[in-house]
Amino acid sequence: MMKTKNEQLYIYGRQPVLQALRSSLKVEQVWLAKNLQGKGIGQIIRQTGKRSVPLQEIAKNDLQRFVGAVVHQGVVALVQKPPILSLPLVKELLRKINEPLLLILDQIQDPHNLGAILRTAEISGVDLIILPVKGSAELNATVAKTSAGAMFNLTYYFSPDLTKTLTELKTLGINILATMPASTQTMYETDLSAAVAIVIGNEGRGVRKHLLSFCDRQIAIPQFGKVNSLNASVSTGVILFEAVRQRHFTD
């Protein structure tokens, strides 16, 4: 894999730190609040020993100098950011995967939404997350916390031009599916077991109009209530688990 930058990141929270320690990413150091006990602490201590990661106990309030005034649960770590693939490595990866499942996030700007999406993407087996270079939330400590550490177990590509990226994906035989509430074709009428890239739109305006002509089709989640749209992270979860059903639980 290839990184765009060799960046480090302070993260906080028991589950994100534990998942970072269990991932292949480099963890530089872990800090624990003095006399800290409770769920996950023993596992964190064992993982730091297993990986020979420096571990230091400090006063609980001193942890805020690394991460600010957040609910850090007495645990902070300095880690390398997840690796970002180059386009050639993206193509190489996708050629090796049978019927890949991709998630394209079109300017998801709320880090809590992004974290929730990544948490669902990781557990549902998404092979690649694609985000535009401009207009997206960063992969930061908030995203790591909201994703419960799932952020560290996914593969990423940041696209400088999503239209060109969609065109490249088509040459690899991947169907591009834009999520659009007004579409007459539902996700239940769509083959999500094939090689697909699901495009999730921005929290406010949805999938940008200029991208739609580069998509193979538009699909919708059936809705029967009075509210005519779902939160981006909820929509992602609903569609991804329909993909899970089609890929793993059909006769």
Extended strands (E) in the chain: 8-12, 27-33, 55-58, 75-80, 101-105, 128-132, 156-159, 175-179, 196-200, 217-219
pLDDT of residue 192: 97
- Report pTM: 0.92
Neighbours of 23 (CB within 10 A): 18
Tens-digit pLDDT profile for the chain (251 aa)? 344 455 899 999 999 999 999 999 999 999 999 988 888 899 999 999 999 999 999 999 999 999 998 889 999 999 999 999 999 999 999 999 999 999 999 999 999 999 999 999 999 999 999 999 999 999 999 999 999 999 999 999 999 999 999 999 999 999 999 998 889 999 999 999 999 999 999 878 889 999 999 999 999 999 888 776 678 999 999 999 999 999 999 87
pLDDT of residue 63: 94
Domain map (residue ranges) of the chain: 8-80, 87-248
pLDDT of residue 224: 84
pLDDT of residue 4: 44
Class of 8-80 per CATH?
A: alpha beta
Q: What is the CATH number of domain 87-248?
A: 3.40.1280.10
